[in-house]
A and B are shown apart, each in its own frame.
Chain A
Amino acid sequence: MELSTLWFCLVAVLWIGYFALEGFDFGVGMLLPILAKDEKEKRVLYNTIGPVWDGNEVWVLTAGGAIFASFPFWYATLFSGFFLPLLLILIALIVRNLAFDYRGKRDDDSWRRNWDIAAIVGSYVPALLWGVAFANIVAGTKIEPLGDNPPTAFFLEYTGFPVLDLLNPHGILGGLVTLTLFMTHGAMFIALKTDGEIRHRARDFAVKVGLVAAVLAVVFLVWTQMKTGNVGSAVVFVLAAVALLGGIAMAKAGREGLAFLGTFVTIALAVAGLFVALYPDVMPSSIDPAFSLTVENASATDNTLKVMTIVALIFTPVVLVYQAWSYWVFRRRISVHHIPDPEPEPVAH
């Protein structure tokens, strides 16, 4: 296999890891106003992802870094072309992450309320926009050489209208799919990680939102398959749908571990299918296929890819081992009686 194809696969794996992991902590954030009935339950939800959300988020930094290193032309065109959506995602991630860290730092209701809003909005926005972005990447966007330059990959830029061109029906549907999938995934995670009333509420909700996600996802994946799919992507998409239905069935049967595994596999397969549909392009042009960024014309040199391959082969397993260990350390279920009282505010003197 060509090194550039190997790196296309590795980039796909990084995005799969990102969405399968951060997907559920986006879900937990989105479910704060839906599942938590009081302050203690809210804190139960925050604490289910407390020790792990930061590690989950690093997957996107690694995915970004890996694209930069292995497909510099893809990185440049994608990030400058999707400027505003990415900016919104960045801002959402910033306020959301700080909400986790700072919410408990003052014993003050309006302080907590404001950070709740930050956590909730900061979870909805990326959950929606990542789907919009990926739907557009796969379906193709307006990419062409800028100015009178020859159509070498160096000059290929996104020339569509900022944001509005990305908000086409297929793109919006893609966003709604990630949003509902992540919400389902988050509810499954909460059912697995909590105890008491909220656990049952989460399980019931996961079944409901899971069915909505299933309908949207099937429409979206069939549409994508018709637009740009191939045999491989069709197989993977079908498997993703099966996994989702299996996950929902498991949730109904009260098998929370298997239910969470179901949505985990669903997200992994759906993202994998998108990458299969994408290959050998990395950013197809809707203007002219000659302007598409491909695995071949967007990639780094073999020298760089060799170095990166060695580093990835050595360190990825290490990362997986200690991240898994961290999940093991924090494996116990959390319920309201585990939540300590807030630290009181200092008395002015």
Chain B
Amino acid sequence: MDVLDISRWQFGIITVYHFLFVPLTIGLTLLIALLETQWLRTRQPEYLRLTKFFGKLFLINFAIGVVTGIVQEFQFGMNWSDYSRFVGDIFGAPLAVEALLAFFLESTFIGLWIFGWDKLPPKLHNATMYITHVGTLFSAYMILAANSWMQNPIGYTFNPETNRAEMESAGAFFDVLFNKVQLVTFPHVVLAAYMTAGAFIMGVSAYLYMKKADDREVYYKGIRYGAVACLIAGVGVGITGDIQGKIMTDVQPMKMAAAEALYEDEQPAAFSVFTIGTPDGRTEKFSVKIPRLLSYLATGDWDAKVRGIDSLSEEYQSTEWATPQAAGGGDYVPNIPVTYWSFRFMMGMGFFTAAGAAVILWLTRKRAVPNAKWVGTLGISLPIAAVLGSSFGWIFTEMGRQPWVVFGLMTTQAGVSPGVSVFEAWFSLIALTVLYGVLAVIEVGLLVKYIKLGAEPFAEPPDVPLGGHDDDKPLAFAY
């Protein structure tokens, strides 16, 4: 493999890995803050126990999300220096703003939440978690704006003297922030995060509800609370995903065609549920199709034409692209088996999560205890499915854009660092992959330990002395 391939594998591995932890971080900060508010309002001990229990699980997850995030910011420059040079004038700004607006907020206020139980008045303590959540939203917004620009670059001009894309005007920054791809991607991603966090609270609660016969009330509340979040957010994920499909067809028709392995233009186009055939889907042995559905998903019109891979490939090959960095796109067709199946897995995992949540909600209605061992297992599988759904969504989005790194402006191969050696690239890929593998084992081990322990018994939170500290008491939380 050359530096390009190694760097692509590395980017894929460490970015997918990073994003395993992100949806839970975004979603749980809100859901835990709401649980704490619920405790402050109702004074029902279960809500404080759930707050602390899921707070602990959240922090185990958050820690890895943070450390793997640092690599994200550095690797653009390390492995993709020509990409960074080409896009830096536009793409760098949201990244810098993300650090200034989001990372400071998250890191400072999560520290206050963790260590502040005996230092801040209860309402202020609760507020620190809401503020942390706002930080995660800022972060998601900025990085998604940067990514949306790669999918649908706007607000730039190409400057042949500096050989890069440059911000058209200062006001063009708003075009980047309110890119139409961004406006639907952000809610889609954030709602999926709420769905994941809801599934996590519900699933873990369901597992413990089945297991801890003498302590059911707290987990019953967890099931209800998580399910409501998961299902409401799930509906939102579906709606935004639908809108996203139509915008994608508009700005990146090849990605939609690749999602469906649709080679010929079709009018009206059928949606393929699944196919057995050659890996690239060109010949089908067996397939299940729903007539006209793809036309609707892609355009909102049941009779519309959807363009296929072949005609788009031909068109792209005869297009004169405006930048030298657009050279080397080959046939402009992404990896079809990957796009076709990741698209299906994304949706399948989403539907499975929502359906599983509904089943558990039904089985435990009115505090019923189902006489079935698999309910706990189903519970644990829900957040895993939700996280995988997000992963497949990103694999689809990024692989579907290939061979472009910035659609229409720069191919991925033009973005790689020219000065990095094969040895350096391998060293980094292997070191990070091994390290991340070890961290995964440690993290899962800790999650399993703390999930099995369950929520701690209720304890009155410490009094916070007004204006001063009680100097002799042990810390409420210590490393």
Q: Which residues of A contact B (CB under 8 A)?
A: 43, 46-47, 50-52, 54-55, 57-58, 61-62, 64-66, 68-70, 72-73, 75-81, 83-84, 86-87, 90-91, 93-95, 97-98, 100-106, 146-147, 152-154, 157-159, 162, 300-301, 303-304, 306-308, 311-312, 315-316, 319, 322-323, 326, 329-330, 332, 334, 337-340, 346
Contacts and interface: CB of A to CB of B under 8 A. Distances in A.
A77 B296 CA distance: 47
Greatest chain B CB density within 10 A among A152, A301, A337 is at A301
Interface range for B:
35 or more
Contacts of B432: 87, 91
Interface in B83-130: 84-85, 87-93, 95-101, 103-105, 107-112, 114-116, 119-120
Given A65-B73, A158-B419, A329-B116, A46 B479 contact: yes
Contact of B100 (A102, A157, A316): A316
Given A157-B419, A303-B169, A303-B170, A346 B88 contact: no
A152 B100 contact: no
A334 B211 CA distance: 40
Contact of B92 (A72, A79, A326): A72
Interface of B: 59-60, 63-64, 66-68, 70-71, 73-74, 76-79, 81-82, 84-85, 87-93, 95-101, 103-105, 107-112, 114-116, 119-120, 161-164, 166-170, 172-173, 417-421, 423-424, 427-428, 431-432, 435, 439, 442, 446, 449-450, 452-453, 469, 471-475, 478-479
B71 A90 contact: yes
B89 A86 contact: no
B64 A98 contact: yes
Greatest chain A CB density within 10 A among B60, B76, B87, B104 is at B104
21 contacts: A58-B99, A64-B99, A68-B88, A72-B84, A72-B88, A75-B76, A76-B82, A79-B81, A80-B79, A80-B417, A83-B424, A90-B74, A98-B67, A146-B418, A158-B419, A300-B93, A301-B166, A304-B170, A306-B170, A332-B469, A337-B472
B479 A93 contact: no
Given A73-B85, A83-B424, A303-B167, A61 B478 contact: no
A303 B79 CA distance: 27
B100 A319 contact: yes
A70 B92 contact: yes
Given A91-B435, A338-B478, A83 B420 contact: yes
B32 to A, nearest CB: 17
A57 B169 CA distance: 33
